[in-house]
Amino acid sequence: MGKNVTAVVEELVTPILTDMSIELVDIEYVKEGNNWFLRVYIDKEGGIDIEDCGAVSEKLSKRLDEVDPIPDAYFLEVSSPGIERPLRKEKDFHWSIGKRVHLKTKEPIEDLKVFEGTLSQFTEGMIIIQEENKSYVIPMDKVESARLAVVF
């Protein structure tokens, strides 16, 4: 059910975000304990603030009430993806070129499963990470998880 819910919510939230010049980063529909959570992560040039999250939450909540696509009771959360923004889709990797990323693979590549460096290229499903003086080419389908890396 989780994938169906996220697909429906994406259809409902996309026009709202487009009108507000806000980008959809991700949607999660997860059960934690006894409660269901619908989490919508948004971003825009210059960053998201609490007012943006509140406005999107209000508009999306109204649309969800009208369409009622989720049979369970749930909590709606709208937020920025945070400083460790997850990278899941091709557009996320394109957006992250030139940024520092942290990536885990499903299986070792050159004897490593964890990579942290600058995302230098993303083409045809291949992620190229520059770590100090070495480049690693990682197929997107071998990635277990990826996110922006915090640089202090």
Domain edge (last residue) among 79, 108, 139 = 79
Q: Which domain holds residue 24?
A: 2-79
Looking up residue 108, the CATH number of its domain turns out to be: 2.30.30.180
In tens, the pLDDT along 36-82 reads 999 999 999 888 999 999 999 999 999 999 999 998 899 999 999 98
Residue 35 lies in a domain: yes
Q: 66 and 111: one domain? A: no
Residue 67 lies in a domain: yes
pTM here is 0.77
Domain edge (last residue) among 79, 102, 131 = 79
Structure tokens at 21: 């010049």
Structure tokens at 20: 């507000």
Strands 35-43 and 74-79: parallel
Q: 114 and 59: one domain? A: no
Residue 85 lies in a domain: no
1 pLDDT band, cuts 50/70/90, is: very low
Structure tokens at 52: 């943006």
